[in-house]
């Protein structure tokens, strides 16, 4: 029997559908679903989808329309059924930033408190790092696997840290690549559908969103970050999920490390009750909300107490050891994070040219320095070096003397450090006066 064409479900042609969006008209949910399915089935061409994306970029979408696009993209592949896993399933998503290793310490803390965390993460691209690359710095750790394995591990341990499979939201994978080369990445409805289609396909009940704001973030200003956060919260709730969004500052890198092995080690430090203050603050903020949405705490104060107990008792470390062992890695590195730091590299100090206070650190500039020394990638098919990176020796507000280290470059060869030395020095702004302390959390959006 011949396969039915998805386009036959439309009462008009694809150019007519594109024209509707071009003219600012809303597209019916059923028509969007047929259009998306036809695109995955290659009945709609890339150039037609590119025209639709550009029309959406300029005309936007109504909330119900964005929700319909999101669900159509979710349903373009497999939706994981987690009904057999007890508890309210809660995930977290970050829009990405430099030094953002929060997922690695957040997931085991929340799981140790009794909330299941089904987390499907991505790889780094451009100046931002990726959770999967950082986890793979653990020797033997596997982020690939079947949906069956993902679900079984979640049921048994309470947390799965995997990468997106070909079964999950294939429409998003195709459209994401197309948006990247057609200057339509910044469209709020398309970003919303991209993020939520993958998260909803995980089978979650609730989501906590961390929208980074600033130079080192995708969203450079608070107004656009707020618009994205409101869109995701609104559409997530239209899809029947509990969603909270936080806007957090990303002008300077988060934590003291930029790289893969060193960021994973720093995340493990948090599980031991150590680590930099800003990383602990961000992790705790998101954990509190995940526990509240997960139904194990009614207030932020109750949730904070659970987080502190999970760390103090060693339950968070034990949970991460279970996750690492289940996914093929050596759980001993969780107990001793320094085991992640292997040899074969050289450490080159970056010295202050004058005395003063660190007023600012350009996260975007340091993110690209990390890429240049091998810690990141500019194309999705590139590999990363897990052992190289940047260690910050001073953060905004710290006093430094001339000749004192501002940072340390971890490189394979000293010439690699020399090639980025000026960029690294220039990323630090020194001033005569101590700058005012800026809050990490800028806004909370729940409705």
Residues near 28 by beta carbon (within 8 Å), at least 6 away in sequence: 68
- Catalytic residue selected from 21, 92, 93, 199: 93
- Catalytic residue selected from 21, 33, 173, 198: 198
Cα–Cα distance list, 223 to 100, 204, 208, 233, 443 (Å): 21, 28, 19, 15, 11
Is 172 part of the annotated catalytic residue set? Answer: yes
Between CA 210 and CA 26 the distance in angstroms is 29
Between CA 33 and CA 326 the distance in angstroms is 37
Is 212 part of the annotated catalytic residue set? Answer: no
- Catalytic residue selected from 91, 133, 172, 278: 172
Neighbours of 114 (CB within 10 A): 17
Between CA 229 and CA 95 the distance in angstroms is 10
Does residue 365 contact residue 214 with C-beta atoms inside 8 Å? no
Does residue 363 contact residue 250 with C-beta atoms inside 8 Å? yes
Q: Which H or E element spans position 50? A: helix 46-59
Burial grade of 301 (CB within 10 A; 0-12, 13-18, 19 or more) = exposed
Q: What angle do helix axes 14-22 and 29-40 make, rounded to 10 degrees? A: 120
Q: How many residues does the chain have?
A: 447
Does residue 427 contact residue 230 with C-beta atoms inside 8 Å? no
Both tokens assigned to 430: 């020194």
Between CA 27 and CA 196 the distance in angstroms is 19
Q: What angle do helix axes 261-271 and 102-112 make, rounded to 10 degrees? A: 30
Which stretches of 304-404 are assigned E, i.e. beta strand?
A: 346-351, 356-361, 389-392, 399-400
**φ/ψ of residue 368, rounded to 5:** -75, -30
Is 198 part of the annotated catalytic residue set? Answer: yes
Does residue 105 contact residue 307 with C-beta atoms inside 8 Å? no
- 3 state DSSP class of 114: coil
- Catalytic residue selected from 194, 199, 234, 278: 194
Is 31 part of the annotated catalytic residue set? Answer: no
- Catalytic residue selected from 179, 377, 393, 416: 179
Is 237 part of the annotated catalytic residue set? Answer: no
Q: Which H or E element spans position 208? A: strand 206-213
Neighbours of 167 (CB within 10 A): 13
Catalytic residue set:
93, 172, 179, 194, 198
């Amino acid at each position: 029997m011949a396969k039915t064409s998805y386009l036959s479900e439309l009462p008009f042609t694809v150019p007519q559908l594109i024209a509707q969006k071009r003219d600012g008209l809303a597209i019916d949910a059923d028509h969007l679903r047929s259009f998306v399915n036809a695109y995955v089935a290659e009945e709609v061409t890339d150039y037609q989808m590119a025209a639709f994306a550009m029309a959406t970029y300029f005309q936007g979408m109504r909330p119900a329309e964005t929700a319909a696009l999101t669900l159509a993209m979710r349903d373009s592949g497999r939706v994981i059924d987690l009904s057999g896993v007890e508890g309210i399933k809660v995930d977290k998503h970050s829009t990405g930033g430099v030094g953002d290793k929060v997922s690695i310490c957040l997931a085991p803390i929340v799981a140790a408190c009794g909330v299941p965390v089904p987390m499907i993460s991505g790889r780094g691209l451009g100046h931002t790092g990726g959770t999967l690359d950082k986890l793979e710095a653990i020797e033997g750790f596997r982020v690939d696997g079947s949906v069956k394995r993902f679900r079984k591990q979640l049921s048994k341990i309470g947390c799965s840290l995997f990468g997106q499979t070909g079964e999950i939201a294939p429409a998003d994978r195709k459209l994401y690549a197309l948006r990247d080369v057609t200057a339509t990445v910044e469209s709020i409805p398309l970003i919303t559908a991209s993020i939520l289609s993958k998260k909803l396909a995980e089978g979650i009940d609730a989501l906590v969103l961390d929208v980074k704001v600033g130079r080192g973030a995708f969203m450079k200003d608070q107004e656009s970050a707020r618009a994205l956060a409101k869109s995701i919260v609104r559409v997530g709730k239209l899809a029947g999920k509990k969603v909270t969004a936080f806007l957090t500052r990303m002008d300077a890198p988060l934590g003291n490390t930029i790289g893969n092995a060193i960021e994973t080690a720093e995340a493990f430090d948090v599980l031991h009750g150590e680590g930099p203050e800003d990383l602990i603050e961000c992790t705790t903020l998101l954990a509190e909300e995940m526990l509240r949405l997960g139904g194990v705490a009614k207030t932020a104060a109750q949730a904070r107490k659970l987080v502190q107990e999970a760390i103090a008792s060693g339950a968070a470390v034990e949970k991460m050891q279970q996750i690492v062992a289940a996914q093929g890695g050596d759980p001993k590195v969780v107990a001793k994070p320094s085991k992640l730091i292997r040899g074969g590299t050289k450490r080159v100090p970056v010295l202050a040219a004058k005395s003063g206070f660190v007023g600012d650190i350009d996260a975007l500039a340091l993110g690209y320095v990390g890429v240049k020394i091998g810690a990141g990638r500019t194309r999705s098919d590139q590999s990363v070096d897990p052992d190289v990176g940047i260690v910050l020796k001073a953060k905004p507000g710290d006093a430094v003397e001339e000749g004192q280290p501002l940072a340390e470059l971890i490189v394979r060869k000293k010439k690699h450090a020399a090639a980025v030395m000026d960029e690294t020095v220039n990323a630090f702004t020194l001033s005569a006066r101590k700058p005012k302390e800026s809050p990490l959390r800028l806004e909370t959006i729940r409705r």
